[in-house]
Amino acid sequence: MGSMLFSALQMRGLELPNRIVVSPMGQYSAENGSASDWHLMHLGSLAVSGAGLLVFEATAVHPTARLSPGDLGLWSDENAAALERAVVFCRKFGSAKLALQLWHAGRKGSVSVAWERQQPIPKDKGGWTPSSASAIPYPGRHVPEALDEAGIRNTIQHHVDAAKRADAIGLDLIEVHGAHGYLIHNFLSPITNQRTDQYGGSLENRMRFGLDLFKAVREVWPERKPLGIRISTTDWVDGGWEVEDSVEFVRRLKDLGCDYVTASSGGTVPEQRLKVYPGYQVPHAEKIRRETGMCTMAVGLITEPRQAEEILVSGKADLVALGRGMLYNPRWPWHAAVELGEDFSYPKQYERSHPSMRSGDFLKPAR
C-alpha cells in the first residue's frame, strides 16, 4: 500500500498530488513589493522539489502592511506583473501547485530586513506608522496606530484587492496570515487588543476582525479555489490567546468556508514560553482537527519522512509543511519518496540522479 504522504488531497477544485507543503518563508528580497530574480531562483527550485503545494512568502496587501521594505507585496499592478513572472516560471518547469500568503504585519511593521536584525526604521529614513488593534508597541518597535472603523474597512478592502490580483495572475490557493503577532493576531490576542468597541473585549469581539476579513476574501476568491488560514494556536504566555480560543475561532472559520488551518504558534510577545522540539506544534493541529473536523496543516520541525508519514497516518493532520528543512534540502520530497518506497517523477533533466539510475547504461534506465 502506498504512503499517505504521497497520496493526493482534493480541496474544492484543486487536487494536490501529495501532502508535502513548502511553508511560506519571507525572503526580504522584493523591490517596492515586487518579486525579483531571487524569487525566480528560490521559488523555481522549490517548484521542482516535488512538493504538492508551494506557498509563496507572506505578501503584504499595502506598503504600510509590510514588516520590512524587502517584503513581497500585491498592492499594485507592478507587483502583480512581477509575481506573475514568477508564477509562469514555476509552472513552466515545476509540478507544485502554487499558493500565496496574504498578509498585514500589524504592529510589528516598519523594521529593517531579517539580516539587519529587524531594527525600527525612523520616519525620516522611509519608516511608516504600523497599524494594530490598539496603540501598544511590540517591545523595541514603533508605537502602532489603532485602526478606527474606517481603517478596518480599508484594510479589509486591501486584502480583497490583493486576492483579486492573486486570482488574476493564476494562483491556486490563498492562505490568510492570521499568526505570528501580525495584524489579525493583534486583534485576536487580549495582550495586543485592548479595544472597547465591537472589535475588542470578549472573544467574540476579538475574533470579529479576522472573521470579517476572511469572509470578505472568500466572497471574491473563486468558489473552486481553496482558501485557508495560518493561525498561532497559542501565545505561549499567561493571559494571552489560548488553544481553546483557537478551537472556537476555527469553528467559526469553518462556517465561513475555510478549507484548512495551519497550526503555528507564538509571535505576540518576546517573553513567550515556547519550547521547540521535533513536531512541537503538531499536538495543536491534532486538537483542532479532532475538535472541529477542520482539515489541518502541521508545521514546525517536521524534518523526517517517517515523522511526516506518522503525523498523517495517525490522523494528527492532513498536510505537513516544511520550512527550513526545504531550504536546507530542496530535494526533500525526492528523498522522502525513496525512503517510503514511492515511485516519483523527476524533471526529465534530473532523472539520472535517482539512486537506481546511477550505474549501468543510462540510455536504458533501470526503472
| 322: contact with ligand FMN by CB under 6 A | yes
**Residue 323 interacts with ligand FMN (CB under 6 A)?**
yes
| Interhelix angle 149-168/203-220, nearest 10 degrees | 30
Q: What is the dihedral of CA 92, 358, 22, 111, to 10 degrees?
A: -90
Q: Which is nearer to ligand FMN, 178 or 200 (CB)?
A: 178
Distance, in Å, from the CA atom of 47 to the CA atom of 188, rounded to the nearest integer, reads: 33
Task: Give the range of 19-27, 127-135, 236-244, 248-256 binding ligand FMN by CB under 6 A.
Answer: 19-27
Assess 301 for contact with ligand FMN (CB under 6 A). yes
Per rule CB under 6 A, is residue 136 in the interface with ligand FMN? no
R_g (Cα) of the chain, nearest Å: 20
Residue 204: what residue type?
E
Q: Who contacts 276 (Cβ-Cβ below 8 Å, separation ≥6)?
A: 300, 301
Give the integer Cα–Cα distance in Å for 268 and 238. 12
Does 300 contact ligand FMN by CB under 6 A?
A: yes
| Beta strands at 72-73 and 20-22: parallel, antiparallel or unpaired | unpaired
Which amino acid is located at 38 in the chain? W
Buried b (16+ CB within 10 A) or exposed e, 267-305: bbbeebeeeeeebebbebbbbbbeebebbbbbbbbbeeb
Whole-number Å distance between alpha carbons of 329 and 306: 16
Among 44, 127, 137, 325, binds ligand FMN (CB under 6 A): 325
Least Å distance, CB 223 to ligand FMN, is 25
Contacting range for ligand FMN; rule: CB under 6 A; set: 45-53, 196-204, 293-301, 337-345: 293-301
The reply to whether 178 sits near ligand FMN by the rule CB under 6 A is: no
C-alpha cell at 77: 499592478
Q: Does 283 participate in binding ligand FMN (rule CB under 6 A)?
A: no
Query: Rounded to the nearest whole angstrom, what is the least distance from the CB of residue 182 to ligand FMN in the complex?
Result: 9
List the x/- string, 189-218, binding to ligand FMN by CB under 6 A. Answer: ------------------------------
182 is an active site residue: yes
Q: Examine residue 230 and tell whether it contacts ligand FMN (CB under 6 A).
A: yes
Q: Quick check: 299 binds ligand FMN (CB under 6 A)?
A: yes
**With binding defined as CB under 6 A, does residue 20 bind ligand FMN?**
no
Size of the site for ligand FMN (CB under 6 A): 20
Of 177, 208, 225, 252, the one binding ligand FMN (CB under 6 A) is 177
Taking the CB of residue 126, how many other CB atoms lie within 10 A of it? 9
305 binds ligand FMN (CB under 6 A): no
Pick the binder of ligand FMN from 14, 25, 113, 216 (CB under 6 A). 25
- The answer to whether 19 and 5 have CB atoms below 8 angstroms apart is yes
Catalytic residue among 28, 182, 199, 260: 182
The residues assigned a catalytic role are 182
Instruction: Give residues in contact with ligand FMN (CB under 6 A).
Output: 23-26, 57-58, 101, 177, 179-180, 230, 264, 299-302, 322-325
